């Protein structure tokens, strides 16, 4: 059992007998004898061998190592491909949603400026002498003041964001 498992694990790790011998500070012939079943390592060397191959001692001593079947690998590969496709679709949807959000912010900012222009808005054009309209005028003036200063920043950020989230065609 040990000889078969040792050989199978060594090969699965992509190690030659010489490379394993160097890791264990033994000669290559020692590895060859272990794999042919002509000798066995002592308990200390078995622990060192286990560490070098990153494999539990129980696997080296008794559990048989079977290479994965081609069908199992194919099923796993198909599942991973499906997961990758789902992740790619989710990323595309998220990117598209962000793109439309940024475009909407641009449109809202432009519409806000259009509304202010249509109302003939000027900061000092409101009659503040009437107490009833003075409160509304101050509130509207405050909104204008904030909007005129913040909207260009929002517009610029949304415009840049919409460009960055454009879906690029791959050739």
Contact 14, 8 (CB under 8 A): no
Residues of the chain with CATH 1.10.260.40: 2-61
Q: What is the DSSP letter of 126?
A: S
Distance CA 108, CA 157 (A): 13
Taking the whole predicted model, whether its pTM rises above 0.85 is answered as no
First to last CA, the chain: 53
Residue 4's CB is within 10 A of a number of other CB atoms, namely 12
Q: Which residue has the higher pLDDT, 122 or 119?
A: 119
**How far is residue 92's CA from residue 165's CA, in Å, rounded to a whole number?**
10
pLDDT of residue 67: 62
Query: Of 140, 134, 100, 101, which is closest to residue 122 (Cα–Cα)?
Result: 140
User: In which band, very low, low, confident or very high, does the pLDDT at 141 lie, cut at 50, 70 and 90?
Assistant: confident
What tens digit of pLDDT does each residue of 6-31 get? Answer: 888 888 888 899 998 998 899 999 99
Of 75-89, 115-129, 146-160, the range with the lowest mean pLDDT is 115-129
94 pLDDT more than 60: yes
Distance CA 7, CA 4 (A): 5
Res. 124 pLDDT band, cuts 50 70 90: very low
Q: Is 20 exposed, middle or buried (0-12, 13-18, 19+ CB in 10 A)?
A: buried
Please check whether the domain covering 2-61 is classified as CATH 1.10.1740.10.
no
Could you report the per-residue pLDDT of 27-71, keeping only the tens digit for each?
A: 999 999 988 888 888 888 888 888 888 888 888 887 655 666 667
């Amino acid at each position: 059992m040990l000889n078969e498992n040792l050989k199978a694990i060594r090969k699965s790790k992509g190690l030659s007998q010489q490379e394993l011998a160097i890791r264990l500070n033994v000669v290559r012939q020692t590895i060859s004898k272990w794999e042919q079943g002509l000798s066995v390592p002592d308990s200390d060397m078995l622990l060192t061998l286990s560490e070098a191959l990153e494999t539990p001692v129980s696997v080296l001593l008794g559990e048989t190592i079977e290479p994965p079947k081609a069908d199992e690998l194919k099923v796993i590969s198909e599942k991973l491909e499906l997961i990758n496709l789902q992740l790619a679709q989710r990323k595309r949807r998220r990117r598209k949603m962000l793109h439309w959000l940024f475009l909407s912010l641009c449109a809202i900012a432009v519409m806000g400026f259009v509304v202010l222009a249509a109302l003939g808005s000027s900061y000092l054009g409101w009659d503040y002498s009437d107490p009833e309209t003075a409160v509304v005028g101050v509130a509207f003036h405050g909104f204008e003041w904030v909007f005129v200063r913040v909207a260009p920043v929002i517009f610029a950020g949304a415009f840049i964001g919409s460009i960055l989230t454009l879906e690029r065609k791959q050739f």
